Amino acid sequence: MRHYLSSNAHLPLAITLTFLLAATVAAAPDQLILGRDTTPPADIKGPIDLTINLTTVPGFDDARVAVTVDGQKIVDALRSPWHVAVDFGPLPVEHKIVVTATADQKRIQWQTTINKGHQTLGVKIVPVDAANRVFEANVTSPDEDPIVSVTAWDDGKPVATVEQSPYRFTIPAEHFAMKSVQVTARTKSGDEAADFWSATGDIRSEALEVRTVPLFVSVIDRNGTAHDDVDQALFKVVDNGTEGHILEIGKAFNQPISIALLLDASTSMTYEMPKATRAAVNFVETTLKSGDRCAVYSVHTSPRREMELTADRVAIGKVVKSINAEGRTALYDAIASAERELRDEKTRRAIVILTDGGDTSSITSFDEIDRLTKESGVPIYVIAYNGVDDEPPQDLNRLQYLAAETGGFLVTASAQNLQARYADIEKDLRAQYAITYQITDLARHNQWRKVHVMLKSPQLTARTIRGYFAP
């Protein structure tokens, strides 16, 4: 089992605690007796009957006992015979146990360390010279499973790796734009732990403004598969270099969505339209649920809105099937029209595009559409369609850029896998998380603020908008 640790990863793992009545303690397979002068045995692990011995302490026959393990309280005001069952996990790990006994006006306390030297896997980033992007990772690991490498990451890609202690590294300038660092420590067996660091900056309190920011996030693994079962404690949001305080995380699929469906219907799609429209209709039928709405645009020399936002899936299907190919490709104009239609929607939003080529006839420039998509924050999903040809669609770099900036993605498709590519988009929309976070920052109208969502797991990457313009 892999353990993914948060910013306090250098501490021992939280143990699983189970409390039993004294009458049932006999069910515990092993016993650990702790007194003020007790030397604990080695290799303590698994379920343990933890027994506090006060027989050598005069005047504490009726004492109340509190026990903490690694600072975590496991029992308070425990009465004689002072038994509690604790599961220390499958491996012997170093733990500090503090016992406090109180009787009348008297109080005694002592600390015992079990499994000395047996460390858990953990990593903690320390800025050595943040201005020059120099950091060091303090690591711990089990004796039998040593650290073999520490790697720094940026957006799911490794940017620096150190294989020997001290684990000190310099982050390349081009990967420090967010002024945040993610590292993972890897052991010989392949287990990994992660930690994060972010700059907070100096903020003058008299000029503070509190903002609450909504965000929709997709989580993918290294194979590109979307996940909707991620522990909420793994999320971290960095807004303009400052960590945001997450107020709420929920499954976005429970929220309605408004989708603008854009179909390239230029002349080059003439022989492909039947396949394209069938796949689009199936996407609508399988994706839309109660409360969802969809608008349809055909992309010709000038874009046409074939149907405004509606929840009528039958009507959407009829309109999509009726689209015929002709003219050139005003793709940017179509995106601009869709952005305007979705601008005032209070639900989740998405633009889904099928095209076999780049823009050829728009009045809207790429710079204008770049600004518009950033302002709106609507995720753009692009299916770049090859049809029967081996030639990839044109302008893939620009379309890829628009998708990445808005939290969507671009995939290429042929006639054979077109339906599967639509299914990829559907899965991504179903697996989204809705995050609401709060920041305290200087109030600067129309300031571009970079957003980065990180996950305390080296196996997962978060995808969302790259930033937004402050209101």
Task: Tell me what pLDDT residue 409 has.
Answer: 94
19: its two tokens: 């409390």
List the domains of the chain with CATH numbers: 16-114 (2.60.40), 122-198 (2.60.40.10), 203-471 (3.40.50.410)
Band (217; pLDDT cuts 50, 70, 90): very high
Estimate to the nearest angstrom the gap between the alpha carbon of 151 and the chain centroid: 19
Looking at per-residue pLDDT, the higher value among 166 and 202 belongs to 166
Whether 352 and 259 have beta carbons less than 8 Å apart is answered as: yes
Task: Tokens 């850029």: give the residue.
Answer: 401
Task: Tell me what pLDDT residue 432 has.
Answer: 93
Q: What is the mean pLDDT of residues 65-88?
A: 83
Task: Tokens 């957003």: give the residue.
Answer: 451
423: pLDDT strictly greater than 80: yes
- Three-point CA angle 74, 77, 83, nearest 5°: 65
Task: Tell me what pLDDT residue 389 has.
Answer: 55
Lowest model confidence (mean pLDDT) among 68-82, 402-416, 453-467: 68-82
- Three-point CA angle 48, 51, 52, nearest 5°: 145
Nearest to 329 by CA among 402, 262, 388, 230: 262
Estimate to the nearest angstrom the gap between the alpha carbon of 146 and the chain centroid: 28
Band (49; pLDDT cuts 50, 70, 90): confident
352: its two tokens: 């889904």
Looking at per-residue pLDDT, the higher value among 180 and 275 belongs to 275
205: pLDDT strictly greater than 50: no
pLDDT tens digits for 218-249?
999 888 889 988 988 899 998 888 888 888 89
Q: How far apart are CA 282 and CA 272, in angstroms?
A: 16
Nearest to 352 by CA among 218, 261, 464, 253: 261
Q: How far apart are CA 261 and CA 338, in angstroms?
A: 8
Task: Tell me what pLDDT residue 394 has.
Answer: 65
Q: How far apart are CA 73 and CA 50, in angstroms?
A: 14
391: pLDDT strictly greater than 90: no
Looking at per-residue pLDDT, the higher value among 379 and 141 belongs to 379
Whether 237 and 245 have beta carbons less than 8 Å apart is answered as: no
Mode of pairing for the β-strands spanning 180-187 and 192-198: antiparallel
Whether 378 and 342 have beta carbons less than 8 Å apart is answered as: yes
Looking at per-residue pLDDT, the higher value among 346 and 402 belongs to 402
155: its two tokens: 């957006």
pTM: 0.60
Q: Of all residues in the chain, what percent carry a pLDDT higher than 70?
A: 87
